[in-house]
Structure 1
Amino acid sequence: MSTNLFKDFESVSAKQWKQKIQMDLKGADYNDTLVWQSLEGIDVRPTYHADDFESTPPTIPGHPKSWNIAQHVFIDDETIANQLALDAIHRGAEAIVFTAEAPFSIQSVFKDFPFGATSIYFQFDFLDKEFLLKSISYLTEKKATVFYNVDVLGNLAKTGNWYHNLQQDHEILNALQQAYPQENLISVDTSVYQNAGANSVQQLAYALAHANEYLNHFCHAGGDKNTSRSMTFKTATGSNYFFEIAKIRALRLLYATLASEYNVSETCHVLATPSKRNKTIYDYNVNMLRTTTETMSAVLGGANTVCNLPYDALYHKSNEFGERISRNQLLILKHESYFDTVCNPADGSYYIETLTQQLAEKALEIFKSIEKGGGLLAQLKDGTLQKKIKESATKEQDWFDQGKLVLVGTNKYPNDIDTMKNDLELYPFIKTNPRKTEIEPIVAKRLSEKVEQERLDHE
């Protein structure tokens, strides 16, 4: 027999809670003491209540019922890449994220690959029409679930150049789209903005404007009204736990609103990976704690697939131990912490629902201003977006330099006897490559780089 244990208690309003808090503060100012402001300019209160909502918060469209554990594999030697992928699958990976810098033998990489059970994600640093058509044909015959993640705008933003040029890149996109209209070809890489220092609102606004460029091109210029195709978003999750949960939820809400205007599928697909911006080379084991909370945010926020970042990815070449630990973190979340038991645990949380709404509303305002300014591409060309991201990155860097934003082991509680100079297999700082570019590239930079360089110089 069920008993309502609280039927004899009167409900408490939000106003009553605030009054009680103010009494307990004994004269201290409520806002100065308990309300803090995020990098996005959002005031975070100590309590949230049902009274904060005029109506029931909207259901998040496309929230997945389950999520996949992904493993990253770089394709250099096809045979080695094939072995690494099969081993990762054998050890628990449910999806493989392949990256490559040049065309490769598709048959060699996918020898004995379990297409029916494992999703495939591609992230190519090139755009080759014949290779892509051949690859899509092969994988279509295998009935594989593939996300090709072609993002010419993302490449322009990151490198400052098109793959070939504007006309040729779009001609290749059109050819792929016409040949395989049902495939998941297009993606929006929002990690470009996050790793460069854009705040959560900016990431959402730029992601929406980024997606709008593709939808406008294919649905209006190309006349494509395919309602079944889903757009893929690659997101980077940071350490602001609840904000990152709300960010992915807000992304789905915003994209659904945009997609409805084009009469295409309102459901998007989200591939999440931890941010590099807050990772460090000193006290590097703390990176495992950071990536654990960041992947948790991705799962609770509603990512379809999560690909973890190895704790030593900044300074070590890809290695079996680092990859295994990163995969095991996700396996523990899924199979031992039961993060796959409930598909939408954030629904109904007053705090997260409020953050979702605030992030979406602020991002929508920025999106509207971008469109009034000519759209994402126009604002990339005139440097407006780069300027806004730099302003956000500078503010975050100032918080880090002042100790307001803490990275344990780096700007707080550093281990002074910790040395790294002889352990660097990769260069972990910004690499300068002077070259001619069409636009100013959006450059990723970690918060701790200056501190780390000074420590390395004094080892």
Structure 2
Amino acid sequence: MTKENNLFNEFETINSKQWKQQIQFELKGADYNETLVWESLEGIKVKPFYHNDEDNSTNNVDTKVSEFNILQNIFVFDVEKSNAKALDSLNRGAESICFTIENENISIENLLQNLPFENVWYYFNLKFISIDFATKLSDFASSNKANFSIQIDPIGQLVKDGNWFSNLESDFKNLNQIASKISIPFCTIKSGIYQNAGANMVQQLAYTLAHANEYFNRIENLNQTITIEVAVGTNYFFEIAKLRALRLLFNTLAKEYNHTFECTIIAIPTKRNKTIYDYNVNMLRTTTECMSAILGGANEVGNLAYDALYHKDNEFGDRIARNQLLVLKKESYLDKVNNPADGAYYIESLTEQLAEKALTLFKDIEANGGLITQLIEGTIQRKINESAQKEQDLFDSGKEVLLGTNKYPNKNDKMKHDLELYPFVKNNPRKTLITPIIEKRLAEKMEQERLNAEE
């Protein structure tokens, strides 16, 4: 637009100093920093406004929103039913499928019978390491011209379970053999557990980066795309910035290993803020979380059903979750604009601060032996517990609000007889190599008290 045609030419340019002076005047003597500047759990001070003359960001993060796919997660127990569910999901708007498989005694041919392969991605989340099974998947993909990605994460297994699949040496030996035998992506970082356990965003980013660095160091032929699965919370702009910072940090690390592949980010709403009481509010939470994931540049977005905490998988819950994403993509047109957060000074500032803080923490982790060493020593677990407790204290005091739970609860809401699943932390005492990182929701204690009080 030429200067002559610029509608705003008649207005004088206002700099950040002038804005701040006007705000200070309107505060009528109240302190600017104490009144309007707040600090996040990550130690980031958030200002009431951001201006281009204060924007020193030099990081260019390209978030290709138009490329995101609607992902349907399917747990494979009955192969025939899983196949039927995949076909139905694709017919109803899903664009990619993630099969979670617990053992290798299933027929790949039967699982994928009659499913379309053109323009559809299939992810295979394996709860085991098998060279033979990975090879079968790779051969099937090659012969059928299918888009497959295997998800194997032995470090994620250690983090969640407390033990390796077998042991460190054996797991990475098998992973290296898989790397030498197959041509499809196979390496995944399951970083959502850090968020679900209560880690703040800087910790989530740093632990994810350290997680990736272990694979770069231990897998010789890592010449495929790495998949990173993240959990997204309701701190809307921070979550957008978190995903942008993640891509920026990963690309920075990958360059050091001459790894030229972009990472694939799979985003799923967090469980940490979900509730069993007033459960319909979960739909509002997952909607904003999915929006953050999309605008932050996730490649795949798999929604969480509003009743996932207490109901077994059901057609209605899956359909509602999928339709939320369809509305965002097809009716809100969030797939039509690339890099929509570009130039938003607030998001750019958050992205840079999160990335810088996470990089500092990552360097500290590496200087002290790396992620695996710090997991064995218990350092990572202790830091996450400290962060989780800070957030829990905010929730317990009412400063962090979950509507329908610690704010405006419906006292007549009864849930005791509607629980198909146990929605709380399960205690399973056993011998493990490390203390596992346990996912825990903020509302668990309060919900248990309400359930015990129900008649």
TM-score class normalised by the smaller sequence: over 0.9
What's 1:313 paired with? 308
What's 1:421 paired with? 416
Is this contact kept in 2: 1:277–1:446, CA < 8 A?
A: yes
Alignment of 1:269 with 2:264, yes or no, is: yes
Superposition deviation, residue 14 in structure 1: 0.9
Superposition deviation, residue 225 in structure 1: 6.9
Q: Distance in 2 between matches of 1:58 and 1:326?
A: 34
Is this contact kept in 2: 1:192–1:442, CA < 8 A?
A: yes
Residues 326-405 of structure 1: pairs in structure 2 closer than 5 A: 326-405=321-400
What's 2:297 paired with? 302
Change (3 A) 1:64 1:185: farther
Is this contact kept in 1: 2:59–2:352, CA < 8 A?
A: no
What's 1:9 paired with? 11
What's 1:141 paired with? 143
Alignment of 1:431 with 2:432, yes or no, is: no
Is this contact kept in 1: 2:179–2:222, CA < 8 A?
A: no
SS at match of 2:225: coil
Q: Distance in 1 between matches of 2:114 and 2:380?
A: 45
Residues 108-187 of structure 1: pairs in structure 2 closer than 5 A: 108-180=110-182, 182-187=183-188
Match of residue 47, structure 1, among 28, 46, 49? 49
Superposition deviation, residue 65 in structure 1: 4.0
Change (3 A) 1:382 1:374: same
Aligned-partner residue type, residue 379 of structure 1: Q
What's 1:215 paired with? 216
Q: Which moved more, 1:21-30 or 1:166-175?
A: 166-175
Q: Percent identity?
A: 57
SS at match of 2:256: helix
Q: Distance in 1 between matches of 2:260 and 2:158?
A: 26
What's 1:105 paired with? 107
Once the two structures are superposed, residues 245-296 of structure 1 have per-residue CA deviations (whole angstroms, 9 ceiling, x without a partner) of 0000000110111011111125211000000000000000000000000000
Structure 1 stretches of at least 4 aligned residues deviating more than 6 Å after TM superposition: none
Superposition deviation, residue 64 in structure 1: 5.3
Superposition deviation, residue 165 in structure 1: 1.4
Match of residue 324, structure 1, among 316, 319, 336? 319
Is this contact kept in 2: 1:225–1:262, CA < 8 A?
A: no
Aligned-partner residue type, residue 88 of structure 1: S
SS at match of 2:72: strand
SS at match of 1:185: coil
What's 1:238 paired with? 233
Superposition deviation, residue 139 in structure 1: 2.0
What's 2:26 paired with? 24
Once superposed, what is the RMSD of the aligned Cα atoms? Answer: 1.3
Superposition deviation, residue 343 in structure 1: 1.8
Is this contact kept in 2: 1:57–1:353, CA < 8 A?
A: no
Match of residue 244, structure 2, among 249, 259, 262? 249
Is this contact kept in 2: 1:186–1:232, CA < 8 A?
A: yes
- Relative to the length of structure 2, the TM-score reads 0.97
Match of residue 452, structure 1, among 442, 447, 453? 447
Aligned-partner residue type, residue 370 of structure 2: G
Superposition deviation, residue 58 in structure 1: 2.4
Unaligned runs of 5+ in 2: none
Alignment of 1:288 with 2:289, yes or no, is: no
Q: Distance in 1 between matches of 2:327 and 2:55?
A: 36
Once the two structures are superposed, residues 148-187 of structure 1 have per-residue CA deviations (whole angstroms, 9 ceiling, x without a partner) of 121110110010010111122112101110012x421101
Aligned-partner residue type, residue 315 of structure 2: E
